[in-house]
Structure 1
Amino acid sequence: MKLIFPLCLMIILLSSFTYVNKDRIVIPAVLKSAIVYRSGAELHHMAKASLEKGNNDVVIEGVSNDVDLNSLQFGSDGGVTVMSVEFVTNYLKPAVKPTLVKKLEDSVEIVTRALSRLQVILKTDKDMLDLLNANKEIRGTQTGLSVAELVKMMEYYKTKTLELQNEITDYNERSVKLEELMAKLNDQLNEEKNKNTKTTGNLILQLFSPMSGSFNFTISYITKNASWNPYYDLFVESVNKPVRLIYRAKVAQSTGIDWQQVKLSLSTSTPNQQNTAPVFNGWFLGYINPKVQIRGFSSMTNSLSGNLALNEVVVSGYGSKSMYKREETEAEAAPVYIVNGNMMNKADFERIAPQSIADMNVLKDAAATAIYGSRAANGAIVVRLKDNMSDYISVADNELNMVYNIDLPYDMESNGKEQSVQLKESSVASVYKFYAAPKLDKEAYLLADIADWEQLNLIPGEANIIFEGTYVGKTMIDPNSTKDTLTLTLGRDKRVVVKRDKLVDVSSVKFLGSNKKQVFSYEITVKNNKKEKISMLLKDQYPLSTNKDIEVEVLETSGADVNQDLGILNWNIELAPGESKKYKLSYSVKYPKDKMVNVN
């Protein structure tokens, strides 16, 4: 009796919901394209409905579960007018069970039955073994058995016991494996079921139609439940070849609807940003407590520097609008089709997706026969197919953004998980050199200097480095710089050895009246253990003083290019295979002997 009231309440609620919607026209929204911003997305749907003349109540199902109503745009043909819009979350519509969930449930059922059968067999074998153990005691003359019969009986017990024990061991092992498989299946099933518990949204519209008929609708809106982040793959085969730069994006969405065969776009802009230009106010000075900053040589970060004020980059996906007409009248003789150098018939050619065609040329009869022989007497259609992702991308450079049109549709589940999307690929001419600052780091770094990098349309993001076929780490690409050359750090190379040793015999401490003078001397050794010649930028530094009581004097630099404002020494070195070179740095620091100075 306790279940009657909740059940009746549920029936009433469902009946009421059905009654409220009984006069409404319910139509599905089909997602066609999505522009994903760094935070948020703009979704574009299409729908179709038959309307009566006058007012119509329409429910459009299958939109995102989070809609910014301020961004909602509704379009239609035939002069249909939107009188009111209401957004509701649809909790009652049951989700369709995905095929994978059904397969997993079937697999769980099969494994469950197999486990049950094993348990029955195991119990039977264990009962038989217990029965044998209970009856194995033979009490001498009470058995009435001869010696031969007794030996035969004992042999039977031995054989049967061993057989049952082996079966029990085997079935236990099978049972363990099935239980492990069952656990994995249940984990996967739970994950897939969680994907299918999402809610969707409904748009409840009141429309006015000037006439009866079938009408097409377009719906677009902003939702916050999607995002993307750029990243790169950097391939360096050798220092004699250009850098292969692959642009990628990690895209995620949890809009409540699965994206299927959508035209995908990625944009670096963010919707709902404050778009008011800044205005100056009065700037009034006041006293502050100054902070003392000690000059030094900052550590080098794995980053790219450059200058690119890029407000928006859009990556659009899906099929090209250009279509190739593949019709011919019966009176026309069919030409041959040459696809990537291979001859094929019309039927095979028509199975090629239009967006896979890079270009197509038509050869007249004589020209076709001269190249392809008599089979091309009626002409030839020469087709080249796209062979990598870059072929599917056309780039449009607009005033405020970059647009990448991708001729491939995308599927993306509403699970919040990142999906990698390749945008484009570039081969970048680079000047390679090694960099070492042994005072800060005892290892040498390989750098790639890239000129005219502004043409690459880079976006700040993380990059994976693959050097000579091996993943060596990550770096950051940050194109926000005013430099003409973009410097890319490709990682460490242990085959280039750098050492910095303090020369104790040369270093000294002297007292001159009220002052103390210390001399510091260092020897830097660089060796090239690679099989090819290398170029290197070697750096070191000496301290600077802004205090008149502290005097710094540079004694030896081994011909370095000295930046006296920063105290930085630069050596541009060329090293042959197996060659090593040594460089010296020596300087003195004089200061009052009753003071302590950070000379180390």
Structure 2
Amino acid sequence: MKTILILATALLSSSFAFSGDTLTSRIDKATVFLSGAQVFRKTNSIPIKKGVNEIVIQDVSPYVNQQQLQATAIGNFLILDVQLQTQYVPPANYEGVVLPQKIQSEMNRLEDSVLYLTFELERINEKLNNLASEKNMIMQSQLVKSGGTSDTLPEFKEIVSFYREKLDDINELIVAWKKIKHQTGVRDLKHKARLQELKTYAQQTKQPNEPAKTRYHVVVTTYSDYSTSGKIEVNYFINNAGWIPAYDLRANSTNEPIDITYKARVFQNTGEDWDNVKLTLSTYDRTYSAVKPTAGVWRLDYTVNKPVAVNSSISNQVYYSQNMLSPVQAQSAKKRMLEDESYEDVSYTFVPGQSLSTINQNFSNVEFDVKLPYSIKADGSQKLMVIMNEKVEADFFHYMLPRMNKYGFLQAKIGDWENLSLLPGKANIYFQQTIVGSTMIDPAAMSDTMELTLGKDQGLVATRKKISEEERKVGLSKRIVKEYTFEIEIRNNSRTSVDLTLEDLIPITKNEDIKIKMVEGNGAYLNDTNGMLTWKLKMNAGGKEIIRFTYSIEHEKDKPVS
């Protein structure tokens, strides 16, 4: 038993005792990836003893991975090893702060008062119970119920008078004791409320017990041929951090470039605060594999494909392909299947096998060095920071869809955005210092040109109305043709001319029995896939433009369309 105790004591002490020199360090920089961060810690200049020594760098993140822990020597010495070690700290108990004598005396007095009032309320309740019992006894008396046993009127009056006086006395006492009970209860509540206030104050002034915790330290083993001095830099990768791209797109007028402000929302929950840390934001995605891909072997062979049989007598209709070693085997397989009467209506196609796997990897990386140091708490909250600003040329134009909205919308097209190193993220759009909306930027889904809406322009107004609707029969058949004509009037009430893209819509159908025809488009381009009509117009300042278009629908008279 003695041996076991000694061994346990030795193990416990080794969990928090280090033989090397113990020192602190600070985080001076960090490279933050889209997911994760590389943290760099550096010590002050420290003496390095001759020979092999251990130096303990205290209190690093609890999420450090030993395999991603590195140390660098700054000076004339070598680093032989770097290890992550833990230190168990047992819970610490603290005595409460001594309360002032005045407060402690008041608490003692209030506790005595509350106890006394509790007994007093109990005594009052007993008094009330006794009076209620006495009253009930009188009311249950046979003399009261029977009206008395005497046959004479004077005796009866005397009995009634006695009970009335007795009941009046009891009721007066009940009311008096209820008043006393109420007053005592109010005092009791006041004393209890004040006592609770003092207890809360006393509880807040006490230091809470510190729970057990685990501290994480980096132990660096150094070697030097002579005594010297230097610094040690430790870096490690942590998953609990990252940054989210965001953008501001600002346009002041249609004659100036668009300002793109790159922003980042940086967060970290690494268990250690970053205080005045130099940040580098990287677009590198660490989830990509850094292993060089290999092509493997692509073997080509003959393949016979047997489709689903047309003959319904086949119970198990399957589709399969089988590799053949030679054309002879392929022909033999075809012959065997032709001999089976179940597959007499089946067609056969022979195709060579081919690879269906591709590998796409992108190892491009852009880094943004943030000029100012930042402090970020380890609570997961996001710190917004500006990375850089860019000016890009844009083509501005107006867009209108009068069937949905009578006003025009200012649009901007940005070309060559591939050179802007954009990442997927939300972008706020501003025009003339006013936010007009937001959009999602996704380079993987965008075309060569990025189009933005910069808000509504109420100086460009359109009215759309139906001019005519005509119906006529098609010959002697039961078919009819309905012809619709619409008119769009656009007014430019602004002081500048604008390039306008005007769109409208005609119906489309997949029913071959319904015929839709563009009769007159007034110069519109018709997209046959979606029925969209597009006009490119030049609207002068204060100008007006009238567009008419006509389309027809031919269908069976007895079959309404919608």
- Report the TM-score range of the alignment, normalised by the length of the smaller protein: 0.5 to 0.7
Query: What count of residue pairs does the alignment treat as equivalent?
Result: 385
Name which one, 1 or 2, has greater alpha-carbon Rg: 2
> Is the 8 Å Cα contact of residues 64 and 255 (structure 1) preserved in structure 2?
yes
Q: Which residue of 2 aligns with 1:225?
A: 240
Pair 1:240 & 2:255 matched: yes
Letter in 2 for 1:85: Q
Pair 1:21 & 2:36 matched: no
Of 33, 36, 43, which aligns to 2:39?
43
Normalised by the length of structure 2, the TM-score is 0.58
Q: Look up the SS of the partner of 1:70 in the other structure.
A: helix
Deviation (angstroms), 1:472: 1.8
CA distance in 2, matches of 1:558, 1:93: 85
| 1:102-113 to 2 correspondences below 5 Å | none
CA distance in 2, matches of 1:37, 1:444: 42
**556-565 or 270-279: which moved more?**
270-279
Letter in 2 for 1:411: S
Pair 1:548 & 2:545 matched: no
**Per the alignment, do residues 561 and 401 of structure 1 end up closer, same or farther by CA in structure 2, a change over 3 Å counting?**
same
> Is the 8 Å Cα contact of residues 200 and 257 (structure 1) preserved in structure 2?
no
Pair 1:63 & 2:78 matched: no
Of 29, 34, 39, which aligns to 2:30?
34
Letter in 2 for 1:227: G
Q: Look up the SS of the partner of 2:284 in the other structure.
A: coil
CA distance in 2, matches of 1:80, 1:260: 29
**Per the alignment, do residues 198 and 21 of structure 1 end up closer, same or farther by CA in structure 2, a change over 3 Å counting?**
closer
Of 444, 462, 480, which aligns to 2:426?
462
Of 427, 448, 457, which aligns to 1:493?
457
Q: Look up the SS of the partner of 1:23 in the other structure.
A: coil
CA distance in 2, matches of 1:253, 1:544: 53
Of 512, 523, 528, which aligns to 1:559?
523
**Per the alignment, do residues 89 and 465 of structure 1 end up closer, same or farther by CA in structure 2, a change over 3 Å counting?**
farther
Pair 1:404 & 2:368 matched: yes
Letter in 2 for 1:70: Q
CA distance in 1, matches of 2:423, 2:361: 8
| 1:392-471 to 2 correspondences below 5 Å | 400-471=364-435
Q: Look up the SS of the partner of 2:247 in the other structure.
A: strand
Deviation (angstroms), 1:434: 0.8
CA distance in 1, matches of 2:295, 2:493: 58
CA distance in 2, matches of 1:219, 1:207: 13
Pair 1:85 & 2:83 matched: yes
**Per the alignment, do residues 199 and 460 of structure 1 end up closer, same or farther by CA in structure 2, a change over 3 Å counting?**
farther
**Per the alignment, do residues 244 and 214 of structure 1 end up closer, same or farther by CA in structure 2, a change over 3 Å counting?**
same
Q: Which residue of 2 aligns with 1:340?
A: none
Q: Over residues 69-112 of structure 1, what are the superposed CA-to-partner deviations in whole Å (9 max), with x where a residue is unaligned?
A: 33222222545344462343777799xxxxxxxxxxxxxxxxxx
Q: Over residues 536-591 of structure 1, what are the superposed CA-to-partner deviations in whole Å (9 max), with x where a residue is unaligned?
A: 11122333445533322111111113344553322112223333322223222224
Letter in 2 for 1:68: N
| 1:181-196 to 2 correspondences below 5 Å | none
Q: Which residue of 1 aligns with 2:437?
A: 473
CA distance in 2, matches of 1:29, 1:93: 25
Q: Which residue of 1 aligns with 2:352?
A: none
Deviation (angstroms), 1:529: 2.9
CA distance in 2, matches of 1:451, 1:484: 6
Of 547, 553, 560, which aligns to 1:589?
553
Q: In structure 1, list runs of 5 or more residues that go unmatched.
A: 1-11, 95-112, 114-185, 187-192, 289-308, 313-399
Q: Which residue of 2 aligns with 1:165?
A: none
**437-446 or 57-66: which moved more?**
437-446
Q: Look up the SS of the partner of 2:86 in the other structure.
A: strand
> Is the 8 Å Cα contact of residues 511 and 593 (structure 1) preserved in structure 2?
no
| 1:222-371 to 2 correspondences below 5 Å | 222-275=237-290, 277=293
Normalised by the length of structure 1, the TM-score is 0.55
| 1:504-519 to 2 correspondences below 5 Å | 505-506=468-469, 508=471, 513-519=477-483
Identity of aligned residues (%): 29
Q: In structure 2, list runs of 5 or more residues that go unmatched.
A: 1-7, 93-102, 104-203, 309-359
Q: Which residue of 2 aligns with 1:376?
A: none
Deviation (angstroms), 1:256: 2.1
Letter in 1 for 2:267: A
| 1:67-216 to 2 correspondences below 5 Å | 67-76=64-73, 77-83=75-81, 85-88=83-86, 201-206=216-221, 212-216=227-231
